[in-house]
Structures are given as C-alpha cells and as structure tokens.
Chains A and B, each alone.
Chain A
C-alpha cells in the first residue's frame, strides 16, 4: 500500500523528536562523569526506573510486531505477549537483587565480580554485542516501517533518520537521557494504547468498516460465480500456462487490458490482489503501474468481519470479555499470499482472501510460525516449546535490561522497580490483544506490511490519533535502541577496553571511547535495519531472546546458585551458548526462507528456535567444565554461596 504523508503526523513527529533531543542535550550538559554516563550515577528513583523498564522493554517488536501478528493471524501473536511478560518473573525472583548486589556498570561486571577473569570479560562483552546487534535489527526495521508512511520517505531513509537521532541521544547524556526518554515514552505508550482500546471497545465490531472520515471501506468481492467473472463483456480468460499452470487462480483481462486475478473455490471465485516486481525493479499492482494517479493502481486496504454472531451488521459498544467473545463467534476475512516466479524473471505475489472462523484464529496454531502445534508429530511441537522457553528465559538475559539494575541505589529499589515494570508491561500486553484484533477488523490493514497494523488501526479511528500514535511509536524505537546502544558501548569501553585490554583511560577518555563505540554501533544498526527490512520484527526479536537466553542465563544462574562454578565454566558456557544458538538460527528453515531466499526444506537443523537445545547445552557445558577445572578456592578466588 502507498501511504500518503500525513502533515499532522509530521508535525507531531517533529515535536517528539525535538523534545527527545532537547531533553538529551539538557541532561548531557549535567552528566559529565563516567558513572553518570554509564549508570546515571545510581540515582534514578525506583518508580521512574520501573516505567523506564517498560520504556526499554516495550520495543518496536512488542508494539508493532505483536499487534501486526495478531492482526494478521490472531491469537498466536499474543503468545509472544505472554512469553515476554513471563520472562520478568525470572528477572524479579532470580536475577534482580543479586545482580544489583554484584553491581557495577555492565552485565560482564556481575559475572566477573568474584573472579576478575579476562576470559569472562571478553566472552560477556562479545555476548552483549551480539545480543544487542540482533535486538537492534527489529528495532531499526520497525523504525523504517513507521517513518515510511509518516514522511513518505523510503524505508532506508527512515532507518537512517532514526539511527542518527538515537546516536545523538546516547552520545549526549548516556544512561541519564536514555532513562528519561524511556520513562516518557513508556508512560505515553501505555496510556495511549489504553485510550485506543477504550475507543475500540466503544466502536464495537461491524461487517462494514469505515475509515476515519466515516467512509465505507471497499470490500473485495467474494463467492462470485465463475461464469459471472469470465463471461463479463470484453473479458478474456488468460490461459493457465507457465508459472500459473495448476495454480488455483483465474486471470481475466478486461477490454482496457487490465488483468485481474481471482482465486478459485469450487465454482466460485474471490477477488485477489497482485503485486509484481519486474526484472528491472518496477512494481505493478493488479497489472498496472503502482501509484495513485490515473492509469495506476495500489493495493486495497483489507481485513474485516464477514459474519457476526446472530447475523447482525454491527455489535455496538462491547466490554472487554464481550469483545473477545464476539471475535470467537465471528468469521473474519484474513489474507494469505503465494509467490509465483514468472518465466520473464518477474515475481508476482498473489494476496488472496481467507475466510477464517474466530474459533480457529482465537486459539494457538493459526499462524505460519506456530501452525506446527496442531501437527500430530512430537518433533513439530518443539519449535513452539523452544520459542516459549526462549521468551521466558531471555528477558533476564538481555544486556540492556540488566544494566538498568545499576541505575537505582539498592536492592530494594531494584525489586520495587521490577514490580512497577511488571505492572506497566503486563497491562500493555493485555492491550495488545485488543489492538491486534481491532486492527484485524478495521478494514485498514496493509496486506504487505503487518508492522503497520497498529498505526493503521489508529488511523481508522482518527487521523490525529494516528499522528500521535505514530510519533509515540517512533519514540518507542528511540527508547529501546538507545538502551541497546548504551549496553553495547558499555561493553566496548568498559569491558573490552578498560577491563580486558587494560587500557589506561581517564574518565574523559572512557566516556569518549564509549561515545565513539555508540556511533559505530549506531552505524551498524542502520546497515542491519536496511538489510532486514522485510522481516516481521517480532520474529527477529525471538532470535535475540534465543541467543541472550542461551549465552547468558546459564552463566548468571549457576554463578548465583552453584558454588562449584569456575571462571572457565562461565566463559565456556557463554561462548558455547552464543555460538550454538547463533549457528542453529543461521542454519534453520526460517533463515533459509527469509534471509537466504532458499528452500526451507533444505535447512540443516530440524526446527528454527534453538533455546530448547542450546540453553540446556549452556548449563551442561558450565557444569562439565567447572567439574574438570580446579575449584574456585583453589584458583585463588573463593565463590561464596549465594545464600
């Protein structure tokens, strides 16, 4: 879909970007010391830190990816919400207080607190950089997806704009500005989404969705007798040859030469939409050049309820449970697609309608990601179990979340801020189900881009709301990316340069080194954001969680609970966890399909999510290496039992 530039959105967007930068420069003038730069001097109030946790954690993936996945496939997207929130239990009950007690500035400090091992410093720093980079990709992709419709720029321009602004935020005041940006955006995001959910429930559900101006959205034809389409005056049915042979489509050329594609369902046909990318890169929509002018065509917005319970046309306002009940008992037109490679080198994607009952999409297994849970084979279910395990274990292993424990003054504050974070994040994740289902039935979905579902839902309610939501979503990206870049720059300047390489740097030089590192990571983030532009951001975050959980969690947990843990065991667990999960991901069917463009059936590993194998592997390696190396007390440094 081509999105027209919304000037209100541009103004709100500029206001937000200006405000965020002004805050950063103001705080930057106050925070000159290294401790202020890396950990905000440990002086952040627990309540502010709790909301900043939400601001840090509720990333583009949470907001754009989950809402998009629910809007396109239903309940399966909500599984991510559940997993992301559940992970905070590990953070609160197992990690928060000890991490603060071992506290320094980075995740590596905590692991190395009792050993002073260069191996641990190096392994933990590399792990921080790898996880941060993997987590940066979806944030930057989300940024591009947002700025594209807002400003009318191509995706890559959006990624560059975001990358530059975030780098400026981080290099001005470090953790202080990052915290306040995250606090502001966390509060605004949760409040705004709550407001949209209330509007959504008041609007209810209808079979005839309208746009923000009250104009009915065009519904594509469905269940039309084949003879009516093929026998229309001037219509010519194109032969089913070449790549179209044996496909369930009918192509009909009208008297003006325009080719429409219909999907067969017995003797009935349903209108489909096509997007063709020609060999020279030009794009055609439904056979015409892509555009908004005469003689051009654009993909139509989609997604509506085709049948409501009791056959009514609209439900009127609904309560929270009433809304969900209605969705379960309705039929919704979801969309699927199929790629067809033509002999002339062009590729056509056919988007076709898929009427789906609520009883199907409101239960696990309706999306391509999780469809295997409905398979009878045990092996097929491992992918789902593995992802849910990664989400559960990954939160407490994310470097940008872990460093936030150093910004409060003591363990009680760490605990309290985690509880505030759980409340805010949990509330937001409940809202994602409503936002996603609301987008699914709003009649305004972009069939090519699930990441735009939430902003387009807001647009269906009100143009100004769309502007504000897009701007808040933009700051969402800024908040999370700045946290990630902070974690990465800390790993370079503090862990690698100061502690591993033993470089003699004064306070000023250390902060400068961190700022240069932040700029380099920002540049890398821009490149990755452009390279992975077409992937669903939520799926990419799943990968980051897998790597974080596999590399970091075994080391953190065993350090806290097993006094026989040795520095060699920790180093080995981090390296093996990181490399094995990374390798597994790169050899998975999902990577074959989405990254290399190869046949996923040729993938080497049996399922895409590695956590169920690589987390236990990390624990096993740590235990074995610790057992075959001398006890910690024999190596000169004792490891006291945690409790």
Chain B
C-alpha cells in the first residue's frame, strides 16, 4: 500500500459491475427485512410496553424473546448475506 499522500495510488480491486449491483441489491433487501423487524420492536416498546411484559416463549416475556430474536436475526441475516453475495471474477 502506498504512503499517506492523498493522491498516491492505492491497490484497487478488480470489480465486476454486475456483481457489485447484485451484492448491493441483496444488502438492501436484507437491510429492509431487518429494519422492519427492528421497527416492530421499537413500536411495541414505545407504544405498547405492557404487551412486552407478557409471557411469550418458554414463559419468558416478549421483551426478552424479541430482544434475543433481534440479536440472533442479525447473525442469521449476516450469514444469508454471505451466502447470496457473489465474488468478482
């Protein structure tokens, strides 16, 4: 890698525009899926907090289950993204 000069050449990856477009599309789709899931959590917590205190799964309340689900979903979607992304040739 070059020095610190702003205009110094930096090793550029070979990019395939179709691959970049595909990966971007996948990223945006998965992002929207997660935003909806996260938005649901925010809405429930803000407007129906009493619902969050009700037992939901294994007698754990919805707040705990939804919170854990958001963390697990982040990892699952990240793995899906890894799987669907293409490599530039």
Do residues A381 and B31 form an inter-chain contact, with CB atoms below 8 A? no
Known: A35-B3, A92-B78. A321 touches B10 (CB 8 A): no
Number of B residues contacting the other chain (C-beta, 8 Å)? Answer: 52
Do residues A364 and B82 form an inter-chain contact, with CB atoms below 8 A? no
Known: A89-B74, A94-B27. A363 touches B52 (CB 8 A): yes
Do residues A88 and B82 form an inter-chain contact, with CB atoms below 8 A? no
Q: Given the complex, which residues of B lie within 8 Å of A362, measured CB to CB?
A: 53, 61, 63-64
Q: How many Å from the CB of A138 to the closest CB on chain B?
A: 22
The SS class assigned to the B binding surface is helix
Q: Is A129 an interface residue (CB 8 A)?
A: no
Chain B residue, CB-CB nearest to A362 = B61
Q: Which of B11, B34, B41, B63 contacts A89 (CB 8 A)?
A: B34
Q: Given the complex, which residues of A lie within 8 Å of B64, measured CB to CB?
A: 75, 78, 324, 362, 433
Q: Given the complex, which residues of B lie within 8 Å of A38, measured CB to CB?
A: 4
Do residues A103 and B42 form an inter-chain contact, with CB atoms below 8 A? no
Chain A window 408-420, contacts with chain B (Cβ cutoff 8 Å), 1 for yes, 0 for no: 0011100110110
Chain B residue, CB-CB nearest to A41 = B1
Cα A178 to Cα B60 in complex, Å, equals: 40
Cα A39 to Cα B4 in complex, Å, equals: 10
- Restricting to A61-112, which residues have a CB under 8 Å from any CB of B? 75, 78-79, 81-82, 85-86, 88-90, 92-94, 97, 101, 103-105, 109
Q: Which of B17, B34, B50, B81 contacts A415 (CB 8 A)?
A: B81
Cα A419 to Cα B87 in complex, Å, equals: 16
Q: Given the complex, which residues of B lie within 8 Å of A85, measured CB to CB?
A: 70-71, 74
Do residues B75 and A86 form an inter-chain contact, with CB atoms below 8 A? no
Do residues B79 and A419 form an inter-chain contact, with CB atoms below 8 A? yes
Q: Given the complex, which residues of A lie within 8 Å of B67, measured CB to CB?
A: 75, 78-79, 81-82, 433
Q: Which of A88, A328, A365, A392 contacts B60 (CB 8 A)?
A: A328
The 7 nearest A-B residue pairs measured at CB: A363-B53, A93-B27, A643-B21, A93-B31, A643-B24, A35-B1, A34-B4
A-B contact pairs, 29 of them (CB 8 A): A35-B1, A35-B3, A38-B4, A41-B1, A42-B1, A42-B11, A81-B67, A85-B74, A86-B34, A88-B74, A89-B34, A101-B15, A324-B64, A328-B59, A365-B45, A374-B49, A381-B47, A392-B38, A410-B13, A411-B13, A418-B78, A419-B81, A419-B82, A422-B75, A423-B78, A426-B75, A430-B71, A433-B67, A493-B4
Residues of A within 8 A of B (CB): 33-35, 38-39, 41-42, 75, 78-79, 81-82, 85-86, 88-90, 92-94, 97, 101, 103-105, 109, 116, 321, 324-325, 328, 359-360, 362-365, 373-374, 381, 384-385, 388-389, 392, 410-412, 415-416, 418-419, 422-423, 426, 429-430, 433, 493-494, 498-499, 505, 507, 510, 642-643
